[in-house]
């Protein structure tokens, strides 16, 4: 399997991955395809093949869904796991995810839900969100494992909403194209900041190790000047403390040399580290 050089470096330098000895834990951490590269465990090899099979299913479903959203004039952004698999990983299946996260303008929600119904997606009645989670989950009637999380706010926390409005995110988004479909996703700065917030928004026992790979690859993907812009954006959006702690964690986990000296945390920045975004891990 071909991997880019930086991802190879992350795998080689990862000082935590060897602590996961139970195969089920490795799978739950989103690491099965990575560990299976060097581990002959039959369970992990099967898990890797399963991710490859799931990838094919996701591409089929995404082709229909994304094209229909476009044809119906519905603006949408894809973020988290599915988007990362295209943005950051040469081998798409190596980044497992359990659903596709889609963000839309709240004004388009009813139109989008009607389209989902026409495409045979059913809403989970027990996972509806109106004023708390700001998302609804849908599963395909022919494949209950095909789950779409439809968001009209980027995150469950009210404090972060003013800084990540759909219109602004869409205007500064990046377009990703495949042979069968195209979609827009968050630019790297927004993706990195939200990935940091998402990581800290979970209890330590609920965090997935693969999320650290996402963060390291996102940070590596931007040049020095853009990294400075990202740090400034973190300060403006009151996420500096979270970003600082994640950059430090990346250094420790992967033996990186991210320069933390350029950071001067604003004394007016609000700490979000105590907040827990009650959402399902991707």
Q: How many CB atoms lie within 10 A of CB 81?
A: 22
Q: Can you tell me the distance from the alpha carbon of 110 to that of 119, in angstroms, rounded to the nearest whole number? A: 14
Q: Can you tell me the distance from the alpha carbon of 77 to that of 172, in angstroms, rounded to the nearest whole number? A: 11
Task: Give the tokens for residue 1.
Answer: 């399997």
Closest CA to 13 of 30, 33, 34: 34
∠ Cα 134 85 234 (to 5°): 55
pTM for the full predicted model: 0.90
CA 263 to chain centre: 25
Categorise residue 57: left if φ over 0, alpha if ψ from -120 to 50, beta otherwise.
alpha
Q: What is the pLDDT of residue 101?
A: 97
**Phi/psi of residue 95, each to 5°?**
-110, 90
Range scoring the smallest mean pLDDT among 58-62, 73-77, 123-127, 267-271 = 267-271
pLDDT tens sequence across 218-274: 999 999 999 999 999 999 999 999 999 999 999 999 999 998 876 654 434 433 343
CA separation, residue 235 to residues 139, 161, 264 (Å): 38, 16, 9
Residue 105 has pLDDT above 90, yes or no: yes
Q: Can you tell me the distance from the alpha carbon of 267 to that of 257, in angstroms, rounded to the nearest whole number? A: 25
């Amino acid at each position: 399997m071909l991997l880019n050089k930086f991802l190879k470096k992350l795998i080689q330098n990862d000082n935590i991955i060897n602590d996961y000895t139970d195969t089920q834990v490795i799978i739950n951490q989103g690491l099965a395809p990575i560990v299976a590269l060097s581990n002959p465990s039959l369970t992990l090899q099967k898990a890797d093949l399963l991710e490859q099979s799931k990838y094919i299913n996701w591409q089929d479903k995404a082709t229909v869904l994304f094209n229909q959203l476009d044809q119906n004039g519905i603006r949408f952004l894809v973020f988290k796991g599915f988007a990362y698999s295209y943005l950051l990983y040469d081998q798409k299946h190596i980044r497992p995810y359990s659903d596709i996260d889609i963000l839309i303008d709240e004004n388009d929600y009813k139109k989008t839900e009607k389209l989902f119904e026409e495409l045979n997606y059913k809403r989970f009645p027990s996972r509806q969100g109106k004023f708390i989670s700001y998302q609804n989950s849908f599963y395909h009637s022919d494949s209950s494992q095909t789950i779409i999380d439809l968001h009209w706010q980027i995150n469950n926390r009210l404090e972060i909403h003013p800084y990540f409005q759909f219109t602004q995110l869409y205007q500064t988004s990046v377009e990703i194209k495949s042979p069968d479909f195209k979609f827009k996703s968050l630019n790297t700065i927004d993706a990195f900041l939200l990935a940091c917030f998402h990581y800290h928004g979970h209890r330590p026992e609920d965090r997935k190790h693969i999320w650290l790979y996402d963060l390291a690859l996102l940070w590596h993907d931007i040049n020095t000047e853009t990294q400075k812009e990202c740090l400034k954006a973190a300060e403006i959006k009151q996420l500096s403390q979270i970003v600082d702690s994640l950059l430090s964690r990346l250094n420790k986990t992967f033996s990186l040399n991210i320069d933390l000296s350029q950071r001067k945390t604003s004394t007016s920045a609000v700490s979000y580290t105590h907040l827990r975004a009650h959402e399902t891990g991707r």
